[in-house]
């Protein structure tokens, strides 16, 4: 059904060259926009200033143009909009659903080990990070100020339980999202969220006042994204995104989590899968239509 107000984005992070998995995701997004008669945007997610490089941004344009894609100008680059994310963080601070956490990774590991728990058995979030054991969560305001004055580095963590309670209260019931394509479990329609799987997830840092989770919800709202299309690996991230959207009074988009492209051994492609890089494939003589054939789109 034509939906002319549909706005769909492809939002790569320029921390490596694009591979076949990105090609699938970009083509999927552009085709969904075309199918709906809507608009297609490209967004550069370069908040990780340490890992993102200009040559990878140039590589994104080069590879996507080669695939035959066109997108609207100007392209939003997250590194130019830290003030927007800072404003959202301030709102979360005002709601008292985030707290500064001064723990280093070593300190987190030590706390778990000191508790006599085998690291292998400690729960991890859907991204594989150890669930935060809560150090610094309940320290006094005085202690918090002292650590800040000392110039200690810190991350802003979401008090996930408190955030869920507030969000449920705000929305007047359980928070859900609408999945059009298919969850990793193969279902579509109304999906329940399980943000507690992430524990007290980091939403910003002292030096970079944002995170993937925070910038993505702010930008999707600012750019009026109606359909968030992305790989199924990011399905659990949607739990956090929906929670943040409710807390920040942002609109709820529809979600389409598409299948992932795997190599011949069934392993999901990653940035290290160099042989599947679009530049290398192009230099080896592959054409855009052969790329489409390889990924089945």
For ligand GLU, the binding residues (CB under 6 A) are: 11-13, 45, 216, 230, 234
Closest C-alpha among 291, 257, 281, 267 to residue 23: 291
* Separation of alpha carbons 114 and 158, rounded Å: 24
Residue number with CB closer to ligand GLU (12 or 59): 12
Least distance from ligand GLU to the Cβ atom of residue 13, Å: 4
DSSP string across 132-173: P--TTTS--HHHHHHHHHTT---EEEE-HHHHHHHHHHHHTS
To ligand GLU, the closest distance from the beta carbon of 123 in angstroms equals: 23
Alpha-carbon gap, residue 57 to 122, rounded angstroms: 37
Backbone torsions φ then ψ of 90, nearest 5 degrees:
-60, -40
Instruction: Name the residue nearer to ligand GLU (CB basis): 21 or 100.
Output: 21
Residue placing its CB nearer to ligand GLU in the complex, 55 or 138: 55
Strand locations in 102-260, DSSP E? 155-158, 176-179, 189-192, 202-205, 227-231, 254-258
- CB-nearer residue toward ligand GLU: 154 or 242: 242
Q: Count CB neighbours of 138 within 10 A.
A: 8
In the bound complex, what is the minimum distance in angstroms from residue 241's beta carbon to ligand GLU?
8
191 with 183: CB under 8 angstroms?
yes
Minimum distance, C-beta of residue 29 to ligand GLU, in the bound complex (Å): 9
Q: Which is nearer to ligand GLU, 29 or 246 (CB)?
A: 29
| Cα separation, 17 vs 58, whole angstroms | 10
The least distance separating ligand GLU from the CB of residue 294, rounded to whole angstroms, comes to: 20
Q: Closest distance between ligand GLU and the C-beta of residue 27, in Å?
A: 14
Query: For residues 14 and 199, which CB has a smaller minimum distance to ligand GLU in the complex?
Result: 14
């Amino acid at each position: 059904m034509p939906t002319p107000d549909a706005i769909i984005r492809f939002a790569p992070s320029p921390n490596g060259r694009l591979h076949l998995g990105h090609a699938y995701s970009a083509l999927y997004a552009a085709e969904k926009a075309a199918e709906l008669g809507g608009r297609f945007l490209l967004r550069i997610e370069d908040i990780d200033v340490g890992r993102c490089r200009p040559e990878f941004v140039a590589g994104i344009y080069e590879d996507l143009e080669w695939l035959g894609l066109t997108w609207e100008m100007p392209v939003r680059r997250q590194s130019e909009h830290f003030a927007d994310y800072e404003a959202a963080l301030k709102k979360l601070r005002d709601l008292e659903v985030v707290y500064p956490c001064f723990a280093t990774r070593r300190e987190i590991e030590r706390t778990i080990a000191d508790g006599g728990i085998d690291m292998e058995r400690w729960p991890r979030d859907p991204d594989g990070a150890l669930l935060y054991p809560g150090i610094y969560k309940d320290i006094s305001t005085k202690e918090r100020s002292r650590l800040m004055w000392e110039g200690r580095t810190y991350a802003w963590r979401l008090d996930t339980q408190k955030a869920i309670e507030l969000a449920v209260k705000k929305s007047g019931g359980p928070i859900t999202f609408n999945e059009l394509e298919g969850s990793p479990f193969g279902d579509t329609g109304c999906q329940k969220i399980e943000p507690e799987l992430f524990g007290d997830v980091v939403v910003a840092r002292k030096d970079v006042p944002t995170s993937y989770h925070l910038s993505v919800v702010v930008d999707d709202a600012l750019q009026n994204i109606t359909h968030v299309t992305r790989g199924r690996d990011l399905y659990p991230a949607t739990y956090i995104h929906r929670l943040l959207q409710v807390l920040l009074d942002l609109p709820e988009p529809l979600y389409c989590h598409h299948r992932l492209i795997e190599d011949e051994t069934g392993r999901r492609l990653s940035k290290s899968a160099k042989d599947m890089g679009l530049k290398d494939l192009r230099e080896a003589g592959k054409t855009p239509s052969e790329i489409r054939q390889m990924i089945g789109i």
